[in-house]
Amino acid sequence: MAAIDDAVLIALENIVGPDRVLTDDDSRQRYGRDWTRVHTPNPSAVILPGSIDEVQGIVRLAARNRIAIVPSGGRTGLSAGAVACNGELVLALDRLNKIEDFDSIDRTVRCGAGVVTEQLQAFATEKNLFYPVDFASSGSSQIGGNISTNAGGIKVIRHGMTRDWVAGLKLVNGEGELLDLNRGLVKNNAGYDLRQLVIGAEGTLGVLVEATMRLSRPPRDPAVFVLGVPNMASIMDVLRVYQGAIELSAFEFFSELALQKVVEHQGLPRPFDSRAEYYALLEFEQQDENTLTRAMELFEHCMDQGWVVDGVVSQSLAQASALWRLREDISETISRWTPYKNDISTVTSRVPDFLAEVEAVVNENYPEFEIIWFGHIGDGNVHLNVLKPDELPLDEFQQRCGEVSRWVFDIVQRYGGSVSAEHGVGLLKKGYLHYSCSELEISIMRSVKKAFDPLGIMNPGKIFDS
């Protein structure tokens, strides 16, 4: 790709205004990275457009000059999908942050790509509705980035992934043309659904500038259980029993070491005095006065079977929020150790055997490292986090973890799982994509990218090398 010269910078300033073209080092470092710290950001410039027309103008200019573009949202990604390290132009969408055209009948709302997830959640609450996609970074992640990575989070078992809530979207392709995909329709079988190709494409097909999002009714009186369980097999027994009797909105898990870190560094109390190898967090709506009674009966049954050693149930919304922090604060808490993360999945029923094999490999090869387990076990997604010892250089730590990742991904492949359950591929996992996708599938993906982005300027080098 071509370098950005002064003439191009002037042309960009003519499109968005001189104050919206940033070339200082602080801005390039800030906008050129995400939550990963493996690659050093090195964009040529950062552009902050304020309209779809401006985005189209920028992309057309970049296409004429063969300049690579990295779309940038809230920069909360964990796979280096929004990292610009090769002189690219960062297109930061923060200013496309309007929420418009709410429709109470369709329960849809039109959002700019820069709308923060929490902003949409608050808007839905104002309308006595609910946007259910939720995760620890909802206060800073943006809708465009959520769609581009098909973000999941803590309510997938009930409400699905981000793609289940996208009624339509607008994309500026690699030639600067605007595509208006699905237009909010519930039923539309007129050819291929290109919207679904864009969702999860990590900005490699174009710049996602706007989305029509679906909303739902608000949850009714949610209750939260935290249960201590002796082993992973018991967690699955608990899931089976509760799922057979109550519609769960969440089923999460975390390890004792994860709980210890959160309690120590976030100043939170333990949920109960007893200790267990793992903890399950369940959330469900109290549809009527009998729901909680039934849930308590199931708790007693699980205790009798030895699947649960102790537990607590929320008595108020405040207590429910406090219990959720035990799970949701894990990522923030362990970030100080620069964890090596694996975001892996298989079908839910196979998780105990899957996790046992992964854990055996990890413990054998990382005997001196602290291992943190947590995740959305109700949908088969577990997060493996290896914490870096303070005295170990980052490059050596990354190299050692990368070697074991291949063994872990061999297990993922045998279980028919995914090397990236919800965080995307980006730069960090593209070398492992073949563990989850065949060569034919990857070849088709390359063909799709070329159709949307014939010059190869959109987030090049992410997911696969062109």
Please give the tally of structural domains in the chain.
Answer: 4
2 has a pLDDT exceeding 70:
no
Percent of the chain with pLDDT over 70: 99
Query: Is 451 domain-assigned?
Result: no
Domain that residue 38 falls in: 6-95
Same domain? For 308 and 382 the reply is no
Same domain? For 118 and 161 the reply is yes
Q: For residue 97, how many other CB atoms are within 10 A of its CB?
A: 16
Same domain? For 91 and 54 the reply is yes
Same domain? For 322 and 250 the reply is yes
pLDDT at 359: 85
The tens digit of pLDDT for each residue in 132-181 reads 999 888 999 999 999 999 999 899 999 999 999 999 999 999 999 999 99
Query: Is 37 domain-assigned?
Result: yes
Does an H or E element contain 63, and which?
Answer: helix 52-64
> Which CATH number do you get for residue 38?
3.30.43.10
Query: Is 245 domain-assigned?
Result: yes
Inter-CA distances, 226 with 53, 309, 427, Å: 49, 11, 36
The tens digit of pLDDT for each residue in 280-328 reads 999 999 988 899 999 999 999 999 999 999 999 999 999 999 999 999 9
pLDDT at 367: 87
Q: Tokens standing for 406?
A: 């291949």
Give the list of residues 6+ apart from residue 115 with CB closer than 8 angstroms, or none.
96, 97, 98, 99, 142, 143
> Which CATH number do you get for residue 249?
3.30.70.2190
Same domain? For 120 and 89 the reply is no
For residues 190-200, give the mean pLDDT: 97
- Find out whether 263 and 269 touch, Cβ atoms under 8 Å: yes
pLDDT at 1: 58
DSSP per-residue codes, 236-300: HHHHHHHHTTS-EEEEEEEEHHHHHHHHHHH-PPPSSS---SEEEEEEEE--SHHHHHHHHHHHH
Query: Is 450 domain-assigned?
Result: no
- Lowest-confidence range among 21-25, 127-131, 196-200, 360-364? 360-364
Query: Is 48 domain-assigned?
Result: yes
Rg (CA), the chain: 23
Same domain? For 150 and 58 the reply is no
3 has a pLDDT exceeding 70:
no
What's the CA dihedral at 236, 238, 241, 243 to 10 degrees? -80
Query: Is 441 domain-assigned?
Result: no
pLDDT at 36: 86
Give the list of residues 6+ apart from residue 164 with CB closer than 8 angstroms, or none.
none
The tens digit of pLDDT for each residue in 213-252 reads 999 999 999 999 999 999 989 999 999 999 999 999 999 9
Query: Is 436 domain-assigned?
Result: no
Same domain? For 320 and 253 the reply is yes
For residues 5-30, give the mean pLDDT: 96
For residues 204-220, give the mean pLDDT: 97
pLDDT at 456: 97
Of 313, 331, 349, the residue that ends a domain is 331
Same domain? For 363 and 351 the reply is yes
For residues 66-95, give the mean pLDDT: 96
Same domain? For 127 and 209 the reply is yes
pLDDT at 37: 79
> Which CATH number do you get for residue 396?
3.30.70.2740
Same domain? For 210 and 278 the reply is no
Q: Tokens standing for 66?
A: 């063969």
Q: What is this structure's pTM?
A: 0.93
The overall average pLDDT reported for the chain is: 95
- Find out whether 378 and 159 touch, Cβ atoms under 8 Å: no
The tens digit of pLDDT for each residue in 326-357 reads 999 999 999 999 899 899 999 999 998 998 89
Give the CA diameter of the chain: 74
Same domain? For 353 and 382 the reply is yes
- Find out whether 157 and 249 touch, Cβ atoms under 8 Å: yes
Same domain? For 110 and 78 the reply is no
Percent of the chain with pLDDT over 90: 88
